[in-house]
Amino acid sequence: MRRTIVAGNWKMYKDTHEAALFVDAFLDRLGGLPAGVEIVLCPPFSALFAVGQRVRRTRVRLGAQNMHWEDCGAYTGEISPPMLVDLGVAYVILGHSERRTLFGETDDGVRRKTAAALAHGLTPIVAVGETAAERDAGLTTARVVAQTQAALEGLPAGAVAKIVMAYEPIWAIGTGRNCDPEAANEVMRAIRGAVEGLAEAPILYGGSVKPENVAAYAACGEIDGALVGGASLDPNAFAALIASAYVQR
Ligand code: PGA
Protein backbone atom coordinates (compact mmCIF):
# COMPACT_ATOMS: atom_id res chain seq x y z
CA MET A 1 0.00 0.00 0.00
CA ARG A 2 1.38 3.38 -0.99
CA ARG A 3 1.59 6.02 1.73
CA THR A 4 -0.10 9.43 1.68
CA ILE A 5 2.32 12.34 1.90
CA VAL A 6 1.75 16.08 2.16
CA ALA A 7 4.93 18.12 1.80
CA GLY A 8 5.12 21.87 2.33
CA ASN A 9 7.69 23.63 0.13
CA TRP A 10 8.39 27.00 1.71
CA LYS A 11 10.69 28.09 -1.15
CA MET A 12 12.65 31.24 -0.20
CA TYR A 13 10.29 32.29 2.57
CA LYS A 14 10.68 32.52 6.37
CA ASP A 15 13.71 33.41 8.46
CA THR A 16 14.45 31.33 11.56
CA HIS A 17 12.10 33.33 13.76
CA GLU A 18 9.19 33.06 11.32
CA ALA A 19 9.92 29.36 10.85
CA ALA A 20 9.82 28.77 14.60
CA LEU A 21 6.52 30.64 14.91
CA PHE A 22 5.04 28.49 12.15
CA VAL A 23 6.17 25.23 13.74
CA ASP A 24 4.90 26.17 17.20
CA ALA A 25 1.46 27.04 15.80
CA PHE A 26 1.40 23.99 13.52
CA LEU A 27 2.36 21.56 16.29
CA ASP A 28 -0.65 22.81 18.27
CA ARG A 29 -2.84 21.50 15.42
CA LEU A 30 -0.97 18.23 14.92
CA GLY A 31 -3.02 16.12 17.35
CA GLY A 32 -6.14 16.69 15.25
CA LEU A 33 -4.59 15.64 11.94
CA PRO A 34 -5.08 12.19 10.36
CA ALA A 35 -2.39 9.74 11.48
CA GLY A 36 -2.27 8.19 8.00
CA VAL A 37 -0.63 11.23 6.40
CA GLU A 38 3.14 11.64 6.37
CA ILE A 39 3.78 15.36 6.94
CA VAL A 40 6.95 16.93 5.56
CA LEU A 41 8.15 20.51 6.03
CA CYS A 42 10.74 21.81 3.55
CA PRO A 43 12.08 25.13 4.84
CA PRO A 44 14.98 27.00 3.21
CA PHE A 45 18.45 25.70 4.17
CA SER A 46 18.90 28.52 6.70
CA ALA A 47 15.88 27.36 8.74
CA LEU A 48 16.48 23.58 8.56
CA PHE A 49 18.24 23.48 11.91
CA ALA A 50 15.62 25.55 13.73
CA VAL A 51 12.72 23.57 12.28
CA GLY A 52 14.54 20.26 12.79
CA GLN A 53 15.07 20.98 16.49
CA ARG A 54 11.38 21.69 16.97
CA VAL A 55 9.95 18.73 15.07
CA ARG A 56 12.53 16.17 16.28
CA ARG A 57 10.24 14.33 18.67
CA THR A 58 7.09 14.68 16.57
CA ARG A 59 5.72 12.84 13.52
CA VAL A 60 6.60 15.79 11.28
CA ARG A 61 9.50 14.99 8.94
CA LEU A 62 12.10 17.45 7.74
CA GLY A 63 12.76 18.03 4.04
CA ALA A 64 15.20 20.14 2.02
CA GLN A 65 14.46 21.89 -1.28
CA ASN A 66 17.62 20.96 -3.15
CA MET A 67 21.14 19.57 -2.68
CA HIS A 68 24.35 18.81 -4.57
CA TRP A 69 25.19 15.23 -5.53
CA GLU A 70 28.75 15.18 -4.16
CA ASP A 71 29.51 14.50 -0.48
CA CYS A 72 31.93 17.43 -0.23
CA GLY A 73 34.25 19.47 -2.40
CA ALA A 74 34.93 22.89 -3.89
CA TYR A 75 31.29 23.72 -4.76
CA THR A 76 30.71 27.22 -3.44
CA GLY A 77 27.16 27.78 -2.26
CA GLU A 78 26.13 24.12 -2.37
CA ILE A 79 24.89 21.75 0.35
CA SER A 80 25.67 18.01 0.29
CA PRO A 81 23.60 14.92 1.14
CA PRO A 82 25.62 14.13 4.33
CA MET A 83 25.11 17.74 5.48
CA LEU A 84 21.34 17.27 5.16
CA VAL A 85 21.47 13.93 6.96
CA ASP A 86 23.44 15.64 9.75
CA LEU A 87 20.54 18.07 10.22
CA GLY A 88 17.98 15.29 10.51
CA VAL A 89 16.61 15.76 6.99
CA ALA A 90 14.63 12.79 5.65
CA TYR A 91 13.30 14.10 2.31
CA VAL A 92 14.76 16.29 -0.42
CA ILE A 93 12.90 17.92 -3.31
CA LEU A 94 14.87 17.49 -6.53
CA GLY A 95 14.30 18.96 -9.97
CA HIS A 96 11.65 21.48 -8.96
CA SER A 97 10.68 23.49 -12.04
CA GLU A 98 11.99 26.69 -10.44
CA ARG A 99 15.41 25.03 -10.14
CA ARG A 100 15.20 23.82 -13.74
CA THR A 101 14.01 27.06 -15.33
CA LEU A 102 15.62 29.74 -13.12
CA PHE A 103 18.87 28.00 -12.19
CA GLY A 104 19.63 25.85 -15.21
CA GLU A 105 19.18 22.48 -13.55
CA THR A 106 19.33 19.67 -16.10
CA ASP A 107 17.82 16.20 -16.31
CA ASP A 108 21.30 14.80 -15.83
CA GLY A 109 21.83 16.85 -12.67
CA VAL A 110 18.50 15.62 -11.30
CA ARG A 111 19.58 12.04 -12.07
CA ARG A 112 22.85 12.44 -10.14
CA LYS A 113 21.07 14.05 -7.22
CA THR A 114 18.40 11.36 -7.10
CA ALA A 115 21.02 8.59 -6.96
CA ALA A 116 23.01 10.49 -4.31
CA ALA A 117 19.93 11.04 -2.14
CA LEU A 118 19.10 7.33 -2.20
CA ALA A 119 22.72 6.41 -1.45
CA HIS A 120 22.53 8.52 1.71
CA GLY A 121 19.15 7.25 2.87
CA LEU A 122 17.31 10.44 1.92
CA THR A 123 13.94 10.11 0.18
CA PRO A 124 14.02 12.14 -3.04
CA ILE A 125 10.85 13.94 -4.09
CA VAL A 126 11.54 14.14 -7.82
CA ALA A 127 9.50 16.86 -9.52
CA VAL A 128 8.45 16.72 -13.17
CA GLY A 129 6.00 18.80 -15.17
CA GLU A 130 5.19 20.39 -18.50
CA THR A 131 4.96 24.03 -19.57
CA ALA A 132 1.70 25.57 -20.81
CA ALA A 133 3.06 25.49 -24.37
CA GLU A 134 3.89 21.79 -24.09
CA ARG A 135 0.41 21.07 -22.75
CA ASP A 136 -1.22 23.06 -25.57
CA ALA A 137 0.85 21.12 -28.09
CA GLY A 138 -0.32 17.78 -26.64
CA LEU A 139 3.16 16.97 -25.35
CA THR A 140 2.35 16.62 -21.63
CA THR A 141 2.73 12.87 -21.31
CA ALA A 142 5.81 12.67 -23.52
CA ARG A 143 7.47 15.46 -21.54
CA VAL A 144 6.88 14.11 -18.04
CA VAL A 145 7.68 10.53 -19.05
CA ALA A 146 10.98 11.71 -20.56
CA GLN A 147 11.83 13.72 -17.43
CA THR A 148 10.96 10.76 -15.20
CA GLN A 149 13.03 8.28 -17.21
CA ALA A 150 15.99 10.68 -17.30
CA ALA A 151 15.87 11.26 -13.53
CA LEU A 152 15.67 7.56 -12.65
CA GLU A 153 17.97 6.17 -15.33
CA GLY A 154 20.23 3.39 -14.11
CA LEU A 155 18.46 2.80 -10.79
CA PRO A 156 17.35 -0.75 -9.92
CA ALA A 157 13.58 -1.21 -9.49
CA GLY A 158 14.04 -1.71 -5.74
CA ALA A 159 15.61 1.76 -5.45
CA VAL A 160 12.97 3.32 -7.70
CA ALA A 161 10.25 2.09 -5.34
CA LYS A 162 11.80 4.22 -2.54
CA ILE A 163 11.38 7.45 -4.50
CA VAL A 164 8.51 9.90 -4.24
CA MET A 165 7.51 11.52 -7.54
CA ALA A 166 5.78 14.89 -7.78
CA TYR A 167 3.81 15.86 -10.85
CA GLU A 168 3.74 19.64 -10.98
CA PRO A 169 2.42 21.24 -14.20
CA ILE A 170 4.57 24.38 -14.46
CA TRP A 171 1.60 26.53 -15.51
CA ALA A 172 -0.19 25.56 -12.28
CA ILE A 173 2.60 26.49 -9.85
CA GLY A 174 1.85 29.66 -7.91
CA THR A 175 -0.79 30.74 -10.41
CA GLY A 176 -4.03 29.69 -8.73
CA ARG A 177 -4.79 27.68 -11.92
CA ASN A 178 -4.76 24.16 -10.52
CA CYS A 179 -4.81 21.21 -12.91
CA ASP A 180 -8.06 19.28 -13.35
CA PRO A 181 -7.71 16.32 -10.91
CA GLU A 182 -8.76 13.71 -13.48
CA ALA A 183 -6.25 15.08 -15.99
CA ALA A 184 -3.52 15.00 -13.33
CA ASN A 185 -4.52 11.44 -12.47
CA GLU A 186 -4.03 10.38 -16.11
CA VAL A 187 -0.57 11.94 -16.24
CA MET A 188 0.34 10.13 -13.02
CA ARG A 189 -0.71 6.85 -14.56
CA ALA A 190 1.75 7.52 -17.38
CA ILE A 191 4.51 8.41 -14.88
CA ARG A 192 3.88 5.13 -13.02
CA GLY A 193 4.23 3.19 -16.22
CA ALA A 194 7.41 5.01 -17.27
CA VAL A 195 9.91 3.18 -15.07
CA GLU A 196 9.89 -0.24 -13.43
CA GLY A 197 9.39 0.14 -9.67
CA LEU A 198 7.26 3.30 -9.80
CA ALA A 199 4.07 1.28 -9.36
CA GLU A 200 4.92 1.16 -5.64
CA ALA A 201 6.17 4.74 -5.34
CA PRO A 202 3.93 7.54 -4.07
CA ILE A 203 3.19 10.31 -6.58
CA LEU A 204 2.17 13.75 -5.31
CA TYR A 205 0.31 16.44 -7.20
CA GLY A 206 1.67 20.00 -6.96
CA GLY A 207 0.46 23.31 -8.37
CA SER A 208 -1.93 25.67 -6.57
CA VAL A 209 -3.07 23.03 -4.06
CA LYS A 210 -5.29 24.63 -1.41
CA PRO A 211 -7.37 23.36 1.52
CA GLU A 212 -10.44 23.75 -0.75
CA ASN A 213 -9.21 21.65 -3.68
CA VAL A 214 -6.94 19.00 -2.14
CA ALA A 215 -9.75 16.48 -1.50
CA ALA A 216 -10.49 16.23 -5.23
CA TYR A 217 -6.89 15.14 -5.86
CA ALA A 218 -6.79 12.78 -2.89
CA ALA A 219 -9.89 11.04 -4.25
CA CYS A 220 -8.05 10.07 -7.47
CA GLY A 221 -6.58 6.57 -7.46
CA GLU A 222 -3.10 7.47 -8.71
CA ILE A 223 -2.58 10.54 -6.51
CA ASP A 224 -0.98 9.89 -3.12
CA GLY A 225 -0.76 13.38 -1.69
CA ALA A 226 0.40 16.88 -2.43
CA LEU A 227 3.47 19.07 -2.77
CA VAL A 228 2.28 22.46 -1.55
CA GLY A 229 3.89 25.87 -1.97
CA GLY A 230 1.89 28.95 -1.05
CA ALA A 231 -0.70 27.19 1.13
CA SER A 232 2.05 25.63 3.28
CA LEU A 233 3.23 29.01 4.58
CA ASP A 234 0.32 29.47 6.96
CA PRO A 235 0.06 26.89 9.78
CA ASN A 236 -3.73 26.90 9.86
CA ALA A 237 -4.13 26.61 6.08
CA PHE A 238 -1.53 23.84 5.96
CA ALA A 239 -3.22 21.93 8.80
CA ALA A 240 -6.63 22.31 7.11
CA LEU A 241 -5.14 21.06 3.86
CA ILE A 242 -3.64 17.96 5.52
CA ALA A 243 -6.95 17.24 7.23
CA SER A 244 -8.67 17.20 3.81
CA ALA A 245 -5.94 15.24 2.04
CA TYR A 246 -6.50 11.91 3.71
CA VAL A 247 -8.58 9.25 2.04
CA GLN A 248 -9.01 5.79 3.56
CA ARG A 249 -7.94 3.40 0.82
P1 PGA B 1 2.14 26.34 -5.22
O2 PGA B 1 3.62 25.72 -5.41
O3 PGA B 1 1.39 25.41 -4.28
O4 PGA B 1 2.38 27.69 -4.60
O5 PGA B 1 1.52 26.40 -6.56
C6 PGA B 1 3.81 24.34 -5.56
C7 PGA B 1 5.28 24.03 -5.70
O8 PGA B 1 6.00 24.80 -6.34
O9 PGA B 1 5.76 23.00 -5.18
Instruction: For residue 18, give Cα distances in angstroms to 50, 66, 137, 159.
Output: 10, 21, 42, 36
What integer pLDDT is reported at residue 1 of this predicted model?
81
12, 65, 168, 242, best to mutate for ligand 1 pocket (most atoms within 8 Å of CB): 168
What integer pLDDT is reported at residue 217 of this predicted model?
96
Q: Which of 98, 130, 134, 168 is catalytic?
A: 168
96 is catalytic: yes
- Per-residue pLDDT of 143-166, as tens digits, reads 999 999 999 999 999 999 999 999
The mean pLDDT of the chain is 97
Q: Is the CB of 8 under 6 A from ligand 1?
A: no
Q: Is the CB of 208 under 6 A from ligand 1?
A: yes
123 has which bridge partners?
A: 91
169: CA distance to ligand 1 center in Å?
10
92 has which bridge partners?
A: 64, 124
pTM score: 0.97
Hey, whose CA ends up nearest to atom 7 of ligand 1?
A: 229
- Per-residue pLDDT of 18-73, as tens digits, reads 999 999 999 999 999 999 999 999 999 999 999 999 999 999 999 999 999 999 99
Q: Is the CB of 122 under 6 A from ligand 1?
A: no
What integer pLDDT is reported at residue 247 of this predicted model?
77
In degrees and rounded to multiples of 5, residue 15 shows phi and psi of -80, -175
17 is catalytic: no
What integer pLDDT is reported at residue 246 of this predicted model?
85
CA gap 72, 62 in Å, rounded:
21
Helix (H) or strand (E) holding 8: strand 4-9
Confidence of residue 249 (pLDDT cuts 50, 70, 90): low
Q: Is the CB of 229 under 6 A from ligand 1?
A: yes
178: CA distance to ligand 1 center in Å?
10
74: CA distance to ligand 1 center in Å?
32
Q: Is the CB of 227 under 6 A from ligand 1?
A: yes
173, 175, 179, 212, best to mutate for ligand 1 pocket (most atoms within 8 Å of CB): 173
Q: Which ligand 1 atom minimizes the distance to the CA of 97?
A: 8
β-pairing verdict for 164-167 and 61-64: unpaired
- Per-residue pLDDT of 191-226, as tens digits, reads 999 999 999 999 999 999 999 999 999 999 999 999
